[in-house]
A and B are shown apart, each in its own frame.
Chain A
Amino acid sequence: MTSTYNRAALAAGGAFFAFLMLTAGTAQASSIDETVNQIFASATGWFVNLIFSSFPGTDFPWIVGWLVIAASVFTLYFAFIQFRAVGHAVALVRGDYSDPNNAGEVSHFQALATALSGTVGLGNIAGVAVAVGIGGPGATFWMIVAGLMGMASKFTECTLGVKYRNEYPDGRVSGGPMYYLTKGFAERGLPAGKILAVMFSIFCILGALGGGNMFQANQAHQQIAGVFGDFPGWITGLVFAAIVFAVIVGGIKSIARVTEKVVPFMGIVYVGAALIIIFMHYDMIGWAVAQIFEGAFTGLGVAGGMVGALIQGFRRAAFSNEAGVGSAAIAHSAVRTNEPITEGLVSLLEPFIDTVVVCTMTALVIIITGQLIADPNTGLYLLNEAGTAIQTVGGNSGVGLTSAAFASAFDWFPYILALAVVLFAFSTMISWSYYGLKAWTYLFGEGDTKELVFKLIFCVFVVIGAAANLGPVIDFSDAAIFAMAVVNVIGLYFLMPVVKKELHSYMSRLKSGEIKKFA
């Protein structure tokens, strides 16, 4: 059965790549990229406009408000759980409360690391550069605020992810918003849970293809082209698609395993290099922090002023740490625990590591190395001709801006960064192919052929993402991921009393000593 499936998969994959190669060979390289870009931009424009439309009479996208309000509500409803429970969350990750008899099962640390490998990535490198490049240093402040508040959203969704997961007779586990929307709503006698779950699954598939795939391929190509010279994006796309295909369709797990082990190491190298650069410019740390605070409340000349900085900060933080989006609930739901709340507590560390630590590092390096050009007389940042973004040294944007910032201190760093970007992009793609597949199987049922169809679509979008321009890709990626948040947050509002009950029960047992440390 398996070998038949593999043969069918390889044959389908072969035909797919042959088609792409044929297409590539019969047209000019640049025109392929242009055509892909035009078709893609016109096909997704309406969806992007719908998600990012502003509140009437303002420039404030309603979706950003939606996430801010949600994170604030969860923060208040759970009485600042992200600050109260950090110590206990760290103890859980350390394994202090893990029963030694359960050794060999997925630990809290492993669930956290797996979820983090899906979120720590290009959002932290390229996304932050986009935020700071458009919203100025002030965007960093709002990004940190969004990261801290997002911890409460993540706590809520991951607790529910574990509580309402599906456990199959063979021991496998499937969880995520689609399951808590269905089972949680039914348990509370609420209508429309199934409809919300279906909507979430559709958006999750789009998010997997957008932010979890195209954005990654796009930025990986930009980084590789930046180091080795410009060449058509579809070539990078094909190479990436072939590797992704080998892992998710061909079942070559060794590639994924190597990536999973190298990615945390690259993350440490990245943060380490950022810290070294920051300390090399120690005399400017005070100035950079002042720029972040001043920019947060005045905008320092950026498009949209303070609101512009705030929107960029919140938007990129949400894209980076995915709090409220629901993806983490899928990743965390497989942990082995009888207490769903423990996984919620562990997961709240995720936005902290992702946004408050790693994103802030990137932003500080960009600011401190003077990549953003300001008017020396007024201190305000100068905008480009279109008036949409801040002028940068060398006209860089996205991952190119981060790369230039690191290169200003270490001229060899772009090579390391290129490798990091490729690995981050790849690990995020593998994670999102899994999230997308879970949503797909929720909609269409489990089965080899059904799963193969999704996996092939996923590979096609790798090529499209690498070939399209950054603008349409980033808009669609954001729109798809935020669309997931629309549905997920509605579910979280209705189900948050369940989480509160779990939290009270757990905390009182912890206090009474019923729940004991093993270590």
Chain B
Amino acid sequence: MSNLYVVAYDGSPASHRTLDFAVDCAERAGAQLLIAHVLEWSPYSFLTPEEVEERHTRRTEELERAKAALMDPIVESLAAKGVTPRTVIRYGHVAEVLNDIVAKEGGSQLFVGRTGHTGMAARLFGAVTISLAQAATVPCTIVP
């Protein structure tokens, strides 16, 4: 089994803490890092005709923005510390896509940050951490 740690990253303070923790764990275990950013998207949402027409352009812009604003800076800052992670940006339901990435890339552990939603809101809208705690196929670390 490969030793690949998949880290969910969205630029939030919680995801920074998660990444720091995962980098530390990976160094000690000699594991590789894969930083995953998921853009929340449902193929069943409703769009206006204009949004349909512009969707491809918007998607391209969103992917470029995510790469330039999130992934490139963090890869650069980690490179300065001698860490060379791979990155992946995907669309979809966050928990499902993270599980899918783990499965496809052969991840051995998954790291996610706790977003702070608790109680009713989390139950209604389905917090990522709750979903992953229930559905993750590899050991999943939730970093507070």
Q: Among A109, A171, A331, which residue has the most Cβ atoms of chain B within 10 A?
A: A171
Q: Which of B46, B55, B56, B97 contacts A113 (CB 8 A)?
A: B46
Chain A residues whose C-beta falls within 8 Å of the C-beta of B97 in the assembled complex: 103
Q: Known A172-B53, A334-B52; judge A260-B60 contact (CB<8 A).
A: no
Interface of A is mostly: helix
C-alpha gap A260/B47 in the complex (Å) = 7
B55-A106 in contact (CB<8A): yes
A104-B44 in contact (CB<8A): no
Chain B residues whose C-beta falls within 8 Å of the C-beta of A109 in the assembled complex: 43-44
B43-A107 in contact (CB<8A): yes
Q: Known A170-B57, A171-B60; judge A107-B44 contact (CB<8 A).
A: yes
Chain A residues whose C-beta falls within 8 Å of the C-beta of B59 in the assembled complex: 104-105
C-alpha gap A264/B44 in the complex (Å) = 12
A434-B54 in contact (CB<8A): no
A334-B91 in contact (CB<8A): no
A114-B47 in contact (CB<8A): yes
Number of interface residues of A (CB under 8 A): 35
C-alpha gap A95/B91 in the complex (Å) = 14
C-alpha gap A110/B49 in the complex (Å) = 10
Q: Which of A104, A170, A261, A336 contacts B46 (CB 8 A)?
A: A261
C-alpha gap A202/B51 in the complex (Å) = 25
Q: Does A100 contact B (CB under 8 A)?
A: yes
A174-B44 in contact (CB<8A): no
Segment 27-54 of B: residues with Cβ below 8 Å from A: 39, 41, 43-54
Q: In the complex, which residue of chain A has the Cβ closest to the Cβ of B52?
A: A334
Q: Known A104-B91, A170-B57, A173-B56; judge A110-B43 contact (CB<8 A).
A: yes
Q: Which of A171, A174, A431 contacts B56 (CB 8 A)?
A: A171
Q: Does B90 contact A (CB under 8 A)?
A: yes
A331-B56 in contact (CB<8A): no
Contact with A along B48-76 (1 / 0, CB 8 A): 11111111110110110000000000000
Segment 82-128 of B: residues with Cβ below 8 Å from A: 90-92, 97, 100
Q: Does A111 contact B (CB under 8 A)?
A: yes
A100-B100 in contact (CB<8A): yes
Q: Which of A98, A170, A257 contacts B43 (CB 8 A)?
A: A98
C-alpha gap A104/B54 in the complex (Å) = 12
Q: Known A100-B92, A104-B62, A109-B44; judge A118-B57 contact (CB<8 A).
A: no
A110-B47 in contact (CB<8A): yes
Q: Does A222 contact B (CB under 8 A)?
A: no
Chain B residues whose C-beta falls within 8 Å of the C-beta of A106 in the assembled complex: 47, 52, 55-56
Segment 253-278 of A: residues with Cβ below 8 Å from B: 253, 256-257, 260-261, 263-264
| Interchain nearest-CB distance for B105 vs A (Å) | 14
| Interchain nearest-CB distance for A274 vs B (Å) | 22
How many A-B pairs have beta carbons closer than 8 Å: the answer is 86
Interface of B is mostly: helix
Q: In the complex, which residue of chain A has the Cβ closest to the Cβ of B55?
A: A106
Q: Does A117 contact B (CB under 8 A)?
A: yes
Q: Does A486 contact B (CB under 8 A)?
A: no
Contact with B along A116-129 (1 / 0, CB 8 A): 01100000000000
C-alpha gap A98/B43 in the complex (Å) = 10
C-alpha gap A98/B92 in the complex (Å) = 13
What class of interface size applies to chain B in its complex with A? Answer: 20 to 34
A114-B60 in contact (CB<8A): no
Q: Which of A257, A335, A336, A431 contacts B49 (CB 8 A)?
A: A431
A264-B43 in contact (CB<8A): no
B92-A95 in contact (CB<8A): no
Q: In the complex, which residue of chain A has the Cβ closest to the Cβ of B57?
A: A171
B91-A103 in contact (CB<8A): yes
C-alpha gap A267/B51 in the complex (Å) = 21
C-alpha gap A156/B54 in the complex (Å) = 24
Q: In the complex, which residue of chain A has the Cβ closest to the Cβ of B90?
A: A103
Q: Among A105, A170, A257, A434, which residue has the most Cβ atoms of chain B within 10 A?
A: A105
Q: Which of B39, B47, B49, B51 contacts A104 (CB 8 A)?
A: B39
Q: Which of B46, B50, B91, B100 contacts A117 (CB 8 A)?
A: B46
Chain A residues whose C-beta falls within 8 Å of the C-beta of B46 in the assembled complex: 110, 113-114, 117, 260-261, 263-264
C-alpha gap A103/B54 in the complex (Å) = 15
B48-A257 in contact (CB<8A): yes
C-alpha gap A277/B48 in the complex (Å) = 32
Q: Does A204 contact B (CB under 8 A)?
A: no
Chain B residues whose C-beta falls within 8 Å of the C-beta of A264 in the assembled complex: 46
A434-B41 in contact (CB<8A): no
Q: In the complex, which residue of chain A has the Cβ closest to the Cβ of B46?
A: A260
Q: In the complex, which residue of chain B has the Cβ closest to the Cβ of A265?
A: B46
A331-B49 in contact (CB<8A): yes
C-alpha gap A435/B53 in the complex (Å) = 12
C-alpha gap A113/B54 in the complex (Å) = 16
Q: Among B52, B91, B92, which residue has the most Cβ atoms of chain A within 10 A?
A: B52
| Interchain nearest-CB distance for B52 vs A (Å) | 4
A260-B56 in contact (CB<8A): no
Q: Known A171-B56, A173-B56, A336-B56; judge A434-B49 contact (CB<8 A).
A: yes
Chain B residues whose C-beta falls within 8 Å of the C-beta of A174 in the assembled complex: 53
Q: Known A171-B56, A173-B56, A174-B53; judge A114-B43 contact (CB<8 A).
A: no
B53-A334 in contact (CB<8A): yes
Chain B residues whose C-beta falls within 8 Å of the C-beta of A382 in the assembled complex: none
Chain A residues whose C-beta falls within 8 Å of the C-beta of B92 in the assembled complex: 100, 103-104
Chain B residues whose C-beta falls within 8 Å of the C-beta of A149 in the assembled complex: none
Considering the complex of A and B, which 7 residue pairs feature the smallest CB-CB distances, nearest first?
A104-B91, A107-B43, A103-B91, A171-B57, A434-B49, A171-B56, A260-B46
Interface pairs (15), CB distance under 8 Å: A104-B92, A106-B55, A107-B43, A109-B43, A110-B46, A114-B48, A171-B56, A171-B60, A174-B53, A256-B48, A257-B48, A257-B51, A260-B47, A264-B46, A334-B55
Using A103-B41, A104-B63, A113-B46 as known contacts, list a sample of 17 further A-B pairs with CB atoms less than 8 Å apart, ordered by residue number in A.
A100-B92, A103-B43, A103-B91, A103-B97, A104-B41, A104-B62, A105-B55, A106-B52, A107-B44, A114-B47, A117-B46, A253-B50, A257-B48, A263-B46, A334-B49, A334-B55, A435-B49
